[in-house]
Amino acid sequence: MPSWSPSPNPWYQNNNAGNYGWGDNTFPTTPIARDYIQNQNGVAYTRATAGWGGGMDPFGRFVAGQEPRLEDAYMAAVTQNPNLRRDEFFGQFGPDYFAKLWAGLGARGQNQGNGMYNPRARWQRFG
């Protein structure tokens, strides 16, 4: 199993005890909220990944960068099931899915290979 460290979204938590003033967590199940989640790009994806892949570290940025690819995949899936909702579709891609993609990138793809003490190029002095 690839190693990764979950990094929650610092601005949104879908398991927030305060629920942003609503009181309990029943609002997302109401028709108006379900319609909003379904029709606003990014909402369902953020809700699905906020608890483990929404941080500002390299893994969190990687997860955020996968949204356009998964949005395209959702649009293709709708051609086979027009009743498929975004939250259902994005909910099936959990942390293990992204961790496997992340592990396949290697250190350079994860932006972990270069730094001040490991630069891309080293100067060699000849002569």
Question: What one-character-per-residue DSSP string does 60-86 give?
Answer: HHHHHHTHHHHHHHHHHHHTT-TT--H
Instruction: Please give the pLDDT value at position 36.
Output: 87
Residue type at position 60: G
3-state SS of the chain: helix, strand, coil percent to 5? 55, 0, 45
Which sequence spans correspond to the domains of the chain?
19-109
Instruction: Please give the pLDDT value at position 2.
Output: 45
**Distant-in-sequence, close-in-space partners of 70: CB < 8 Å, separation ≥ 6:** 45, 89, 90, 93
Instruction: Please give the pLDDT value at position 51.
Output: 83
| SS3 call for 31 | helix
pLDDT, tens digit, 9 for 90 and up, residues 14-72 = 555 555 555 556 677 788 888 888 888 899 999 889 888 888 888 888 999 999 999 99
Paired with 7 in beta bridges are 53
pLDDT surpasses 50 at 1? no
